Structure 1
Amino acid sequence: MKHLAWAMLAATTALHPVAALAQDQQPAPVVGTAPETAPAATQDDGAANDIIVTANRREQTVLSVPIAISAVGGAALATKGIVNSANLSDAVPNLQVSSPYGNTQPNFSLRGISVANEYNSNQASPIGVYIDDVYMASRSSHGMGLFDLDRVEVLRGPQGTLFGRNTTGGAINFITRGPSLNGNEGYAEVGYGNYNSWTAQGAIETTMVEDQLGLRIAGNYVRSDGLFENVYPGGRDPNRQNTLQGRATLRINPGSGPLDIKIKIYGGRDHGTQAAIHGLLSARSGLDFFQVNENRIGLNRTDAYGISANIRYELSPNLSFTSITSRDGGSQYIQQAADGSPFDILDVWWQSKFGQFSEEARFNYSAKGLNLVGGVFYGWDRVVTDNDFGIGSVFGPGASGGFFQHYRQERRSYAVFAQGDYEIAPRLTLTLGARYTWDRLQYRDGYAFLYAGYVDTVKTPLATTVPCAGQPGTCAYNPDATFATNGRNNALTGRASLSYQFDNGPLIYASYNRGYRSGAFNGGSYTSSSGINFVDPERVNAYEIGTKGRFIDNALTLSAAGFYYDYSKQQLQDLRPGPVGILVNAPKSEVYGAEVESNLRLGRALTINAAVGYLHAKYKELILQGANLAGNDLPFAPRWTVQGGVDLKLFDTGSSKLVFSPNVVYFSRQFFTPLNETNAPGSAQQNAELQQRAYAKVNATAAWTIGRFTIKGFVNNLLDRKTYVYGLDLRGAGFPYPFLTPAAPRTFGGAVRVAF
C-alpha cells in the first residue's frame, strides 16, 4: 500500500494552480464544468455550473461522485479541437488513443490498461465504450465523429458494478443531445481547412407538444484530401477523410406524466483511405516524415447503424424503472498496405460484419440517506470475419501467395447487479455494490487456407490450414472442413467505497473496485487450428483514494486521485514464426499512479485549465517470443501526461465577444509493444524502434461571436511535431521490417456557425 500513499501525495502536490475567472459569467466549458446547454449563472454561482453526470446510474454533479471521472461538455470538445473519439487523450489524463487503422478502430488505454498489441476485430476493448448508456461491443464502432453531444464521461478505473461488461480499465460514455421538450432551436456550421478539408454539421430541434413531444435531428460531414503525400505515381494519399453521420431522437412524455420515452436512430459511414505506414526502410529513402511511397494505399470503409429505446417510468417519488433496449450493426472493410513500400510484400484486407442486441432493466430507489440501483443485463453480439493476408513472392521471385481466413464469433453476456449508497453518519456515505456475470462465447465456421495469387487477383487454394493440426501447408485443401470451439466464464465483481462530504466543502473518498474482462478467442490464428485458443479473463483489484471540490470562493475546481492496481492475465499477442500471433495471458502486472485536474477562474476575462497524470505500469511476470519481460512497461502507458490551456476573452461588448483558447498536451515516452527495448532471442528485430519519445503538441482555437453568429478558427499540432501512435515489428514472424503509424501533421482552418 506504500505505492498508493505515494501516488496520492503526488496527486495533491503535482498541480496547484492559482485562481481563475469566469468566462461569459460562467466557468469555461472544460473538464468538470457546465455543458453548453446549461443556463448561465452569476459569477459567484460556480457550483451551479457543474456538469450533471450519470456515472452512478442517477443524476449527480460531477463533484459529488466519489469516482475518478472526467466530464467534458460539448462546448469544451470544440474549444480543445476534439472532433472524434481518437482526440480524447488531449482532454483526459492517463488516457491514450492509438490504432494501426487511424480513426477507424481506435484502441483506448486508461491508466495503462488496453488491448496492448492485440489488433483483431473480434477482441473486446477493456475500456467499455457506451453511447447513451448502450454498450458498444465492436471496436469498429468506436471510431466515431463527435457531434451534437451534451457531454463525454470518462470513468477511470474498473467499473465492474453498474457498467460491468469488459470494463477492466474504465468506461467512456458519449451522451448525445436530445429534445428538451421546450421550444424550437438548432444550429448550422460549415468549415474549411488545409488539405482541402470541408466540414459541416448541424442540428434542429422542434417541440410539437410543449413538455410532451419533441424531435431532434443532427448530422455531421467531413471530407478532406489525404493528410500524407504518396509519392508513388498515381497512388492514393493516405489518411483521406470521408465521413457522413446522422441521428434522430424522438422524445415522448405523455401528459407530462411519469412516463418518459426516448427513441433514437442513427447511421453513419467513414469511407476514407488507410492510415499512413512507415515500413520497409529502403523505401523511405529521400522521403519526408509526412510522405510515403506505397503502391497499394487501401480504402477504409466502416459503416454503423442502430436504434435504441430508453424508457423511464416514475412509479413513485422515490422509485423509478428504466429500460434501455438497443439493436446495432455495421461493417468494416479495411485494405491495408502493411509494408509501406512500392513493392508487394504484405497487404492485408480486413473485413468484418458485426451486430449486437442489448437490454438493461433497472430500478432506482431514493429516500433520505439511501440510494439504491439494481437490475439485470443481457447482451448478444456477433462478428463475421473474412481476412486476406497477401504475401508477395512467398513461394519465390514473382510467385506470390497468402492466407484467407473466415470465422464467426458470437458472445452472450448475462448479469445481475445492485449498488447502494447509505449515509451511515451525517455527510459520511458507504457504497456497496456487486455484479455477477455469465459470459458464453462461440467460435464457429472457422476455416483458412493457403493460396497462390494475391489479395486482388484470382486465388488458387493449395492447402487447408484451419482445421489442420500439422504444420502449415501439410493438410490437403478441403473446402468443406470447418473448425468450432466454445468458451465460457463467470465473474463476481463489485465496489466498496467510503466518502465524506465536508459542509460546503470538498469530497474525499476511498474505494475498492474489482474489474473483469471476459475470456477471448484468438482471432489471429490462420495457419493452424492449434492456435485458435480461448484465454482466461482479465481481472484487476483496484484501490483508490481521492478528493474533489471547489475552493477560493468557488474560483478553483480541483479533483485528485491516487490508485493502485493488482492486474492479472492481461490478454495480448505473442508473435511467432509462421507467421501467426498466439493469444496469451500476462500473468501479473502492477499499476499505480495519480491524477490531478483543475479549472481556475480569474474574473470575467481569463480561465486556466490543467491536468496532470502520473503512471507506473509494469509487468511482474511475462514471457513473449522467448524473452523474459518482467519489469517492462505496459504498452501505451506513458509515465507522465500533462494538459494545460487558457480561455482568454479578448473583449466582450455584450453583443460581441472574442475568445482565444490555446492549449498544450505533453506525453512522456511510451512503448508500442510489451517487449519495450528487449529483443527476442534469435530474432533480427530491434524493438527499441517501437516507441514514441516524449513530445508536446500545441493547439489553439479562436471564436468571435456576434449575436447568433460565431466565426471560429483552429490549428492543431501547431509546431508540426513528427510523432508515432502505433508500431509493430513483424521480423519475429519472418518479415524483414517493422511498421510504424505516424500521427497527423499540422492542420488548420475555420468555420462559421449560426444558431437559431
Structure 2
Amino acid sequence: MNYTNVLGAAAMLGLAATVHAQQEPAAPPPAPPAEEIADANKVVVTAQKREQLLQEVPLSVNAMSAQALANAKLDTGTEIARLVANLRVSVLGDESQPKFSLRGISSSEFNLNAISPTGAFFDEVYVGAQYLGGAQIFDVERVEVLRGPQGTLFGKNTTAGAVNFISKKPTFRQQAEMTVGVGSNGYREAKGMLEAPLIENRLSARLAFTGAHSDGYVHNVNPAGHDLSNIDRKAVRLSLGYKDESGLNGTLRLFAVRNNPEAVGATNEGLAANGLNALGKNPRINPFTGARLGDREVATDRSGNIEVRGSGGYLTLNKRLEHGTVTSITSFLNGRFLNLVDADGTMDPLLHIDFTSKTHEFSQDLRFSSSFDGPFQVIAGLYHQRDKVDIGTTYTIFGGPPVLPILRQKYNQARRSNAAYVDGTYELDERATIYGGLRYTRDEGEMRGFHVTPVVPVQPTLSYSDAKPTGRLGASYKLSRDVMAYGHYARGYRSSAFNGGALTNAADLNTAKPEYLNSYEAGVKSQMWDRRLTLNASAFRYDFKQQQFLNVVGIGTQQLVNAGRSRITGAEFEAALQATRELRVNASVGLLNGKYRELLLNGVDLSGKRMIEAPRYTANAGIDYSLPLGGYKLNFHGDASVIGEQYFLATNAPASRVGVTRDVSARIALLSPSKKVEVALYGKNLSDNRNPAGIVLDATSQTRFTTVPYPRRYGVDLTVRY
C-alpha cells in the first residue's frame, strides 16, 4: 500500500466527510437532551500547557480519561497502545520497561543510558530513566498521547511525540476509595485513595497506592528454578494541595515505586540450522523430556529477578496575575534498577547478563501563560534538567572462565539541558488563528570512567555539546462552530548519545550525533449531531535525518550510529459516538508507510527497507454500554485492536518479523444505586495473542531473544467508595 500522497488525501477525506454529514445529517436516535449527552465529548487536555477543549487543539492528541482507563482495566503504561492508533509499545523486560514507538519512530537501543524519542512525562515532568517509564496507572486523571514532534513546549527527546501521565490533584473534599481483586494465575491486587482536608479550602492531603502480585506466566520446567514473567508492583503517592485567595495554588506530589518480579521469561530460538544455538542446543526442546516446549514454557538454569526502586517528588506552583499565570514545576527523583537475565534461555550458561543502574534526575520549568484581553496569547519559559546515571553490566559468556573471562562494564554518565522557549497564538478573526513557537536548547553530556574488566582499560572522558533550535508554525481555521481545519510545520530533535553497549573493543565507544525530524501535518477536527459524534482526521509527512541507530555487528561488537535518512507518511482517523446516555462507541485507524531512504549497515545498503516497529496499520474499537437494573446499573466495556506485521530489525530479516497481532479485552461491572459499591468481572487478551512483544537477535549466543505478552487471563474486583 502506498501512502505517499496521504497528507493531502486524508485531510480532504476528513473534511469532505464532515461537510457531507453537515449537508445531509442523519436523524439522531431518541435520547435525553442533547446538551447532557454532548458533555461526554467535552474533553479537556493540557497538550499545549494550558487547559483547552481537545477539539480546539490543533494537534493529533489522544486523551484517555480516568473512567476510560478503568473501563479498559489498564494498569500500566505498557497497555495504553490498546486504545491509541499509531502507538506501539514493545517490551524486552517486564511491564515497568515499555519502549514506545509513535508514528513509526522508535529506538532500537536497549542500553540503560539510552533515551527514547518518545518523551515520557509525569505531571509535566520529563523522566529519562526508561525503567521508570511504565508508570503504574493508579489515581490518574487522564493519559494524553501527543503525536508528532513536541520540541517547542515539551522540549528535546520528543522527536516522535510525548506521553503525559496526569495524576489526580487533591479536591479539598473528604473522600476514600478502595479496590481489591483476584484473578487467574494467582493474581491479587489492592489499590485505593484517601483524601482528608487539613485546613478547610486551604490545604488537603491525598494518599493513593497500588499493589499487585501474580504467579509467573512463563513456566520454567527446570525443577530447581522458578516460573518467570510474573507481576509484582507496588507504588504509593502522597499529594498535598494548597490554595488561597491571593491566586496562589500548588501541588506537591511525593512518590515511591517498588517492583520485584522474577526476570522475564524469554522464549528463545536458535538461529543456526535446525534451530540450534552457539552450543548446538535447541532452546525450544525440553532437556528433561525431549518434547518441544510450549509458547509460554522455558527451560533455564537461572531464574533471575528484576528490581526497580524509584522515589522523588514534583512541586507545581501557580500564581495568578492580572494578565496571566506564572507556573513553576520543580522535580527530583532517584532510581535504581537490577535485571538478572538468562539471555540464552536454556539450561546452559551460554549468555547471562546482569544489568544494574542508578539514576538521579532534577528539573525546573518556569513559565508565564498569558490571559490577555485581545487576540494574542503567549507562553514563555525557561527550563533546566540534569541527570546522572551510573551503569554496571556483567556479561558471562560460555560459562565464563576458562573459556572466556567474565566481562564487567562500568561507567557514569552526566547530562545537562537548558532551554528558553516561547509559543504564541494570534486570532486573525473569529475563524482564523495562526500559531507558532521557538525553543532553543543547549545540551551537554559527559561519559566518565568507561572500562570493561579485563579487556578495555579506563577510557578518556567523552563529551558532547549541542545547541539546537526547534519549533513550529501553523494555522487553524474554523469552518463552522464545530469544524476546525489546521496545518503546521514542526521540527524536533533528540540530543547526542553515547554508545553504552560498547563491550570488547574500545573503538566502539563513540558519540552518536543528534537526530532531526521535519514534520508536515494537516488535520480536521469536527463534531456533529449536536456534538454527539466526533470525527477527527490527521495526515503527516516526516523527513527524518541522522536517526540514532543500534548496530549489532557480531560477537561483542555493538555500535551506535546515525542512520542517514528516512521518510514516513501516514494518517490517523478517529471517531467517537455518544449515541445515547447509555451507549458510547469509538474507533480509530492509523496508517503508516515508513522506509529508510539512506541506511548503510555493515556494508549493506538497506535503503528501501521498512522501518523497525512501524506496522503499516493499527486499528482499535471500543464500546461502552450501561443497562439500568432496578436502581442498579450494569456497565459493559469491550475493546479490540489489530496491528499489522512489523519488523524489529532494519534488515527486515524473517527472524525479526512479527505477524498480524490481535487483542480483545472486556469488562462487566455492576454499580449499586448509591454508586458507592462496584463489582466487576474482566478478561484480558481474550484472543490469547502469543506474538512476540520484543525481539533481539544475539550473534554471541546465536539466539533469537523474544518476549511474549501475558496470556489470556480473568479477574474480579470489588470497589468501595466513600
Which range, TM-score by smaller chain?
Answer: over 0.9
Change (3 A) 1:393 1:251: closer
Change (3 A) 1:486 1:231: same
Change (3 A) 1:354 1:22: farther
C-alpha displacement of 1:227: 1.1
- The question of 1:697 aligning with 2:663 is answered yes
- The question of 1:719 aligning with 2:687 is answered yes
Q: 1:69 aligns with which of 36, 61, 81?
A: 61
| 1:620-661 deviation per Cα after TM superposition (whole angstroms, max 9, x unaligned) | 0112233221111111111110101211223354x3100111
Q: 2:523 aligns with which of 542, 546, 560?
A: 546
- The question of 1:215 aligning with 2:181 is answered no
CA distance in 1, matches of 2:342, 2:601: 26
2:7 maps to 4
SS at match of 1:214: strand
**CA RMSD for the aligned pairs?**
2.1
2:289 maps to none
- The question of 1:108 aligning with 2:113 is answered no
Q: How many residues align?
A: 695
C-alpha displacement of 1:719: 2.4
Change (3 A) 1:159 1:225: same
CA distance in 1, matches of 2:210, 2:572: 33
Residues 188-587 of structure 1: matches in 2 within 5 Å? 188-254=178-244, 256-279=245-268, 280=270, 281=275, 282-285=282-285, 286-316=292-322, 318-367=323-372, 368-393=374-399, 399=403, 401-449=405-453, 463-465=454-456, 467=457, 481-587=458-564
Output the amino acid matched with 1:133.
E
Is the CA contact 2:109–2:550 (under 8 Å) kept in the aligned structure 1? Answer: yes
Is the CA contact 1:20–1:608 (under 8 Å) kept in the aligned structure 2? Answer: no
1:643 maps to 620
Change (3 A) 1:725 1:189: same
2:44 maps to 52
C-alpha displacement of 1:482: 4.5
Output the amino acid matched with 1:50.
K
SS at match of 2:470: strand
C-alpha displacement of 1:412: 0.2
1:661 maps to 637
| 1:296-342 deviation per Cα after TM superposition (whole angstroms, max 9, x unaligned) | 121011111111211111121x2211110011111100001111111
Q: 1:179 aligns with which of 170, 184, 189?
A: 170
Is the CA contact 1:522–1:533 (under 8 Å) kept in the aligned structure 2? Answer: yes
Residues 159-168 or 207-216, more deviating: 207-216
1:750 maps to 716
- The question of 1:146 aligning with 2:137 is answered yes
CA distance in 1, matches of 2:401, 2:136: 43
Output the amino acid matched with 2:369.
N
Is the CA contact 2:407–2:455 (under 8 Å) kept in the aligned structure 1? Answer: no
C-alpha displacement of 1:49: 4.8
Is the CA contact 1:99–1:107 (under 8 Å) kept in the aligned structure 2? Answer: yes
Change (3 A) 1:42 1:216: farther
CA distance in 2, matches of 1:77, 1:261: 26
Output the amino acid matched with 2:331.
S
CA distance in 2, matches of 1:571, 1:402: 29
CA distance in 2, matches of 1:289, 1:372: 55
Is the CA contact 1:8–1:563 (under 8 Å) kept in the aligned structure 2? Answer: no
C-alpha displacement of 1:504: 2.1
C-alpha displacement of 1:364: 1.0
- The question of 1:79 aligning with 2:82 is answered no
Change (3 A) 1:71 1:252: same
C-alpha displacement of 1:4: 1.8
C-alpha displacement of 1:43: 5.4
CA distance in 1, matches of 2:61, 2:130: 22
Is the CA contact 1:22–1:604 (under 8 Å) kept in the aligned structure 2? Answer: no
1:36 maps to none
Is the CA contact 1:496–1:511 (under 8 Å) kept in the aligned structure 2? Answer: yes
Change (3 A) 1:366 1:57: same
Output the amino acid matched with 1:197.
Y
Is the CA contact 1:590–1:617 (under 8 Å) kept in the aligned structure 2? Answer: yes
Q: 2:83 aligns with which of 85, 88, 91?
A: 91
CA distance in 2, matches of 1:414, 1:20: 55
1:123 maps to 114
CA distance in 2, matches of 1:91, 1:218: 25
Change (3 A) 1:11 1:672: farther
C-alpha displacement of 1:126: 0.6
CA distance in 2, matches of 1:719, 1:364: 47
1:477 maps to none
SS at match of 2:55: helix
| 1:390-415 deviation per Cα after TM superposition (whole angstroms, max 9, x unaligned) | 1024667xx45331100000000000
SS at match of 1:6: helix
1:683 maps to none
Is the CA contact 1:300–1:334 (under 8 Å) kept in the aligned structure 2? Answer: yes
| 1:501-527 deviation per Cα after TM superposition (whole angstroms, max 9, x unaligned) | 244211110011000100100000021
Output the amino acid matched with 2:264.
A
CA distance in 2, matches of 1:538, 1:380: 20
Output the amino acid matched with 2:283.
A
C-alpha displacement of 1:718: 0.8
Is the CA contact 2:614–2:647 (under 8 Å) kept in the aligned structure 1? Answer: yes
Output the amino acid matched with 2:120.
V
C-alpha displacement of 1:229: 1.0
CA distance in 2, matches of 1:22, 1:753: 33
1:470 maps to none
CA distance in 1, matches of 2:526, 2:17: 17
2:651 maps to 675
CA distance in 1, matches of 2:370, 2:11: 34
C-alpha displacement of 1:19: 8.7
C-alpha displacement of 1:531: 1.1
Is the CA contact 2:41–2:532 (under 8 Å) kept in the aligned structure 1? Answer: no
CA distance in 1, matches of 2:359, 2:220: 32
| 1:600-637 deviation per Cα after TM superposition (whole angstroms, max 9, x unaligned) | 12223321111110011110011223322111111111
Change (3 A) 1:99 1:499: same
Residues 363-372 or 194-203, more deviating: 363-372
C-alpha displacement of 1:24: 12
State the TM-score, normalizing by the size of structure 1: 0.89
SS at match of 1:313: strand
